[in-house]
Amino acid sequence: FAGAGGGGCPWCFSQVKGAIDEDVAEADIISTVEFNYSGDLLATGDKGGRVVIFQREQENKSRPHSRGEYNVYSTFQSHEPEFDYLKSLEIEEKINKIRWLPQQNAAHFLLSTNDKTIKLWKISERDKRAEGYNLKDEDGRLRDPFRITALRVHVAFPMDLMVEASPRRIFANAHTYHINSISVNSDHETYLSADDLRINLWHLEITDRSFNIVDIKPANMEELTEVITAAEFHPHQCNVFVYSSSKGTIRLCDMRSSALCDRHSKFFEEPEDPSSRSFFSEIISSISDVKFSHSGRYMMTRDYLSVKVWDLNMESRPVETHQVHEYLRSKLCSLYENDCIFDKFECCWNGSDSAIMTGSYNNFFRMFDRDTRRDVTLEASRESSKPRASLKPRKVCTGGKRRKDEISVDSLDFNKKILHTAWHPVDNVIAVAATNNLYIFQDKIN
C-alpha cells in the first residue's frame, strides 16, 4: 500500500475538521484520537477538556461519495480546570486519553481522562418523544388530579435525533502523579490507569476503590531513575498487561502471579552498544507509546527516533526497527534546547497488523508496511486537501543537494507535530491530528 512503483500512493484526502485560521487557541489543540471497536465512531479530546465524537455516514446510493464521511455526532465538556489547594497543584483539563468500551447495548460508552480523574461517559440517542401523559399537560404543567377521569396511554412520536452525553462514573483521587494511560481489559469489567510511578486496577462499576498493581516509587525519591510512560492490557489475555519506561524498557506483568506486580514476568530491552552512548541516549530511548497488535502476538513501541515491533516470546531485542526520522539525530542539540526531544509521539497498527503508522514533524506522518517492507512519508496539509486527491509522498533531504520536491531538514517546522494518529479497526481509513485540525484519509478503493 505504501505506493507500488508507478501506481502512485493509494491514500487520498477525505476530510479535514477544525478552524483554518493561523492563530491557534491552546484549548483547540487535539490531545487524543480514538476509533471505537467498529470504527463507526471517532472520538477526539483536546487541551480545553472537550470531547468531540464523529460518526461515519451510512452508505447512500444516491450520494456514493458520501459513504464513509465522518460527521459530528456529539460534543461535550469532559473535564474542567481544577486547583488542588491542599497540594498547591494546578490540574489541567487536557484530555490525555480516550478509550472506548466494547458496545453492549444501544448506548456507547467511553473512558476519558485528564492528569488526575477518569470519567465514564454514556452517549445515547433519543429519537422519540412521548405525548399524552396522564399527569402532565402538553406544556408540562401538572394536571389537577380531580380533573382526570380517563386513563390514557402516551404515544411515541418521532423527533429529530438528539444525542446526549452523561457522566456515569467518576474515578477520582487515586493518582498522586500524572495519568498517562488508561486501558480497558478484555474482560470488559475492569480497566487500568497508569501515572508516572503507579498503575491502578479499577472495576467499571466501582468508583470508591481501586487496586494498586504496580508501584515503582522508590523509598527515597533521590534514587528515582525511571518513570512509567505508557501501559496497556493484552487484547485477549485478561491477566496480562505491559508498561513502558523512560529508560526504553518494557515490562510484561501477569496479575495471576501476585497482587502487586512489581516483579515483571518478562522484561524487554534492546541491548545498547556502550561505545555509542551519549548525553542524549537515555532521553531518546524513552518510550512514548506502547501498543499490542490486534493478534496479541506482538507489541509496538515508539521512542523518539524509531518504532520497534517486539515478539512477546522474545525479550532480548525487537524483531523489527523502523526509522521514523533518523535525520534528526544530527539536530539533537537544538531539539533538546527547544524541548522537542521530549515530544511524545503515539503509534498505531492497522486492522490486520500488516502496517503501522506514527507521526513526525512538519505535519508529516509515516507508514510502514511490514509485509512489503516499504515505507512512505505523507503530509497532512490544507494544500493537498482537495476531495479524493491522492497524497503525494514526501521526502526529507539530508545531504547537500536538494531535489525539487524535497524538503531540507532545516526547513522543517517543528511546531507542526503529529503526535496522535488512529487507524480504523477494519478499513483503510486513518485519522491524523495536526495541532488543532483533524484530517481523515482513505484509500482509493473506497
Partner 1 sequence: MSQKQEEENPAEETGEEKQDTQEKEGILPERAEEAKLKAKYPSLGQKPGGSDFLMKRLQKGQKYFDSGDYNMAKAKMKNKQLPSAGPDKNLVTGDHIPTPQDLPQRKSSLVTSKLAG
Cα(20)–Cα(429) distance, integer angstroms: 23
- The helix or strand, by DSSP H or E, that contains position 282, with its residue range, turns out to be helix 281-285
CA atoms 430, 432, 437, 439: torsion sign: negative
Pick between residue 10 and residue 48 the one whose CB is nearest to partner 1: 48
Contact pick of 321, 338, 372, 415 for partner 1 (by CB under 8 A): 321
* Minimum CB–partner distance for residue 185 and partner 1 (Å): 26
18 binds partner 1 (CB under 8 A): yes
Contact pick of 59, 66, 90, 143 for partner 1 (by CB under 8 A): 90
96 binds partner 1 (CB under 8 A): no
Dihedral in degrees, nearest 10, Cα atoms 27, 30, 32, 33:
140
55 binds partner 1 (CB under 8 A): no
Pick between residue 125 and residue 443 the one whose CB is nearest to partner 1: 125
From the list 69-77, 208-216, 356-364, 384-392, the region that binds partner 1 by CB under 8 A is 69-77
Cα(245)–Cα(282) distance, integer angstroms: 11
57 binds partner 1 (CB under 8 A): no
Helices (H), 310-382: 332-337
User: Phi first, then psi: what are they for 73, rounded to 5°?
Assistant: -110, -45
From the list 79-87, 258-266, 388-396, 401-409, the region that binds partner 1 by CB under 8 A is 79-87
Place of cell 483539563: 93
Pick between residue 114 and residue 210 the one whose CB is nearest to partner 1: 114
Cβ–Cβ < 8 Å for 194, 230: yes
3-state secondary structure of 104: coil
Cβ–Cβ < 8 Å for 397, 403: yes
91 binds partner 1 (CB under 8 A): yes
339 binds partner 1 (CB under 8 A): no
164 binds partner 1 (CB under 8 A): no
Cβ–Cβ < 8 Å for 55, 114: no
282 binds partner 1 (CB under 8 A): yes
Contact pick of 247, 344, 374, 392 for partner 1 (by CB under 8 A): 247
244 binds partner 1 (CB under 8 A): no
19 binds partner 1 (CB under 8 A): yes
Number of DSSP helices (H) and strands (E) in the chain, helices first: 2, 32
Check residue 365 and report its DSSP letter: E
Pick between residue 91 and residue 238 the one whose CB is nearest to partner 1: 91
Pick between residue 204 and residue 230 the one whose CB is nearest to partner 1: 230
Cα(391)–Cα(11) distance, integer angstroms: 6
Contact pick of 103, 280, 294, 397 for partner 1 (by CB under 8 A): 280
67 binds partner 1 (CB under 8 A): no
222 binds partner 1 (CB under 8 A): yes
Cα(38)–Cα(103) distance, integer angstroms: 9
104 binds partner 1 (CB under 8 A): no
For 335, counting Cβ atoms within 10 Å of its Cβ (0-12 exposed, 13-18 middle, 19+ buried), the class is: buried
72 binds partner 1 (CB under 8 A): yes
Query: How far apart are the two ends of the chain, measured CA to CA in Å?
Result: 14
Pick between residue 255 and residue 419 the one whose CB is nearest to partner 1: 419
Check residue 428 and report its DSSP letter: S
Pick between residue 80 and residue 189 the one whose CB is nearest to partner 1: 80
58 binds partner 1 (CB under 8 A): no
List CB contacts of 383: < 8 A, sequence separation 6 or more. Answer: none
250 binds partner 1 (CB under 8 A): no
Provide the binding-site residues for partner 1, judged by CB under 8 A: 17-19, 27-28, 30, 44, 46, 48-50, 52, 72, 75, 77, 80-81, 83, 87-93, 115, 177-178, 196-197, 221-227, 246-247, 273, 275-276, 278-283, 286, 311, 313-314, 319, 321, 323, 326, 329-333, 336-337, 373, 436, 438
